[in-house]
Amino acid sequence: MTYLEDLSQQTDRDLLAAHCAGDQDAFGELFKRHKDRMWAVAVRTCRDPELAADAVQDGFISAFRRADSFRGDAQVTTWLHRIIVNACLDRLRRVKPTSELPEYELADRRDEHASTVVRLDVQEALGKIPEAQRLALTLVDMQGMSVAEAADVLEVAEGTIKSRCARGRAALAELLVDKHGEGYVH
């Protein structure tokens, strides 16, 4: 077995520990494992691919530099989510608010077109609900995190996450029904 295969067999915690101990390849393996998921969180949080790209870069640089701050009381992915979400929030605070969504080309095929329209409608509705609710919904409903993991990432109580998700879902349903009439939200 080669050295790189050894890295791919290690747990996230082992990789982070190896990075802190000076292994120059360990963090690269963590990045490779989690970059896509962190990108998805950033895009949903920022609602702007350029801001998301910057936030992911900022977040991974921060994680690389602060790896020794990982206490081990959560999963490495939860720790990374927290760092990426914070990087997104930092980027969003630096940008003047806008209600415009990035332009997306709609697909020609009818099914793809309908799917794209629904995604854009949901994205637009997400942009209209309070940030705290949007972040909770992004982590729980879109990223599949448990309530406990989302609470760790956002550094709030589990009950707060449940409440934000419930209020956010109700607000989304209302916005989507208002836009498309009854039956749009299942």
Q: Are 57 and 129 in contact (CB under 8 A)?
A: no
pLDDT at 5: 53
Looking at residues 70-87, what average pLDDT do you find?
89
Of 174, 153, 167, 151, whose CA–CA distance to 42 is shortest? 153
In the numeric block, which tokens belong to residue 47? 């609602």
pLDDT at 100: 43
CA distances from 135 to 32, 49, 126 (A): 24, 16, 9
Q: Are 1 and 22 in contact (CB under 8 A)?
A: no
Helices of type H across the chain = 3-9, 12-20, 26-46, 49-65, 76-94, 110-128, 131-137, 147-154, 158-180
Spatial neighbors of 140 by CB under 8 A, at least 6 apart, are: 146, 147, 150, 161, 165
Say if residue 93's pLDDT is above 90.
no
Q: Topology of domain 1-98, per CATH?
A: Rna Polymerase Sigma Factor; Chain: A (1.10.1740)
Confidence of residue 131 (pLDDT cuts 50, 70, 90): confident
Q: Say if 1-98 and 100-186 have the same CATH topology.
A: no
Of 46, 158, 80, whose CA–CA distance to 150 is shortest? 158
Q: Are 62 and 83 in contact (CB under 8 A)?
A: yes
pLDDT at 180: 58
Global pTM value: 0.61
Confidence of residue 182 (pLDDT cuts 50, 70, 90): low
pLDDT at 101: 41
pLDDT, tens digit, for every residue of 143-172?
888 899 888 888 899 999 999 999 998 888
Q: In angstroms, how far is CA 62 from the centroid of its own chain?
A: 16
Of 86, 74, 71, whose CA–CA distance to 145 is shortest? 74
Say if residue 135's pLDDT is above 60.
yes
Specify the CATH number for 100-186; select among 1.10.260.30, 3.90.79.10, 1.10.10.10, 1.10.260.40: 1.10.10.10
Domain ranges within the chain, ordered by starting residue: 1-98, 100-186
